[in-house]
Amino acid sequence: MNNELKFIDLCAGVGAGRLGLEANGLECVGYSEIDRDAEATYKTLYGNELAFGDLTKIKPQMLPNFDLLISGFPCQTFSIVGKRDGLQDEDKGQIIYHISRILEERENNFFILENVKGLVNHDKGRTFDIVLNLLESLGYEVHYKVLNSLDYGVPQMRERIYLVGVKKELVQDGKSFSFPSKIDRIHDISYFLSDTRDEFVFDKSKATYATFESYLQNKYNQGKYDIDEILKEDYVVLDTRQSDLRIYPQKVPTLRRGRHGILYTKGGKLRKLSGYEAFLLQGFTKEMAEKASREQSNGKLLAQAGNAMTINVIEAISKELLKYVS
């Protein structure tokens, strides 16, 4: 049965969710993405497949047959770093209604949706209740859980809420879908932070290094950090996104669109996290990350990786889903 299942990839980004499903034998029948740069990367990685453009303009009856819908609906309005307008946001917050319209008209058996952790407690949980009630009203048994990418094979601290839907008529007595257990694996961070290009060395030769030095002397950081000491150990990750410096040994903070300022130590030097490395941290292979890097600027790659799902997590979820429905 597994090899017969087909899926449609909505709000596809660069296709990370797609790869997680394909790892378990599912077949992609089309995708939807409105960001031109992300779509260009998608085409670079997967070729010119059936594209449906703007999700809000899709006519469900025109879609090919599919069993599973996967989508990471826009999350800025639910995020603690966004405006938290939620479902009141006319552009981004309403995407869930367009997804539900497709689910209702096509009556496909399964879905996997992903969003930021902030969705769970947005508006004191009322927004999440609306989303759950909407999906359940379409005839799905809905399971949800916050999972951290760090627990599934990549050294990135990325907490996301995942919703898995199964048509109620397919629910089996005495059997229930379960989210995947954590993977007991020690991360070899050197695999992920492996870009060797000189342009990502961050030292006094860079114009912005003086700004970094000033940052270390602000009222939050002054006297706390000795960079010379920090540089003695490899793969210490420095997060400079807020006023106070945050340091993580052997792991990377959450990648996000528009996020810059992640540094790490290697060979006695500071290095900037590259877009190539960001793709690796989302579970892409080195071959795919390199292929994407040849076509897009570093800034665009960082943004695309920040918006992507983590391949490893989707692979683990879909593996459990297939166990349940087989």
Active site residues: 75
In this structure, which long-range contacts are made by residues 54-63, counting pairs with CB atoms below 8 Å and at least 24 apart in sequence? 55/10, 55/11, 55/95, 55/98, 55/99, 56/94, 56/95, 56/98, 58/32, 58/98, 58/102, 60/101, 60/102, 60/105, 60/106, 61/105, 63/8, 63/30, 63/102, 63/106
Contact (CB, 8 A) for 291 and 45: yes
DSSP line for 114-126: EEEGGGTTGGGGH
Please check whether residue 20 is in contact with residue 180, taking contact to mean a CB–CB distance below 8 angstroms: no
CA distances from 88 to 77, 162, 257 (A): 9, 21, 22
Inter-residue contact 195 to 269 (CB < 8 Å): no
And the tokens for 119? 């969705």
Report phi then psi at 165, rounded to 5.
-115, 140
Encoded tokens for 19: 């790869």
* DSSP bridge partners of 160: 116, 147
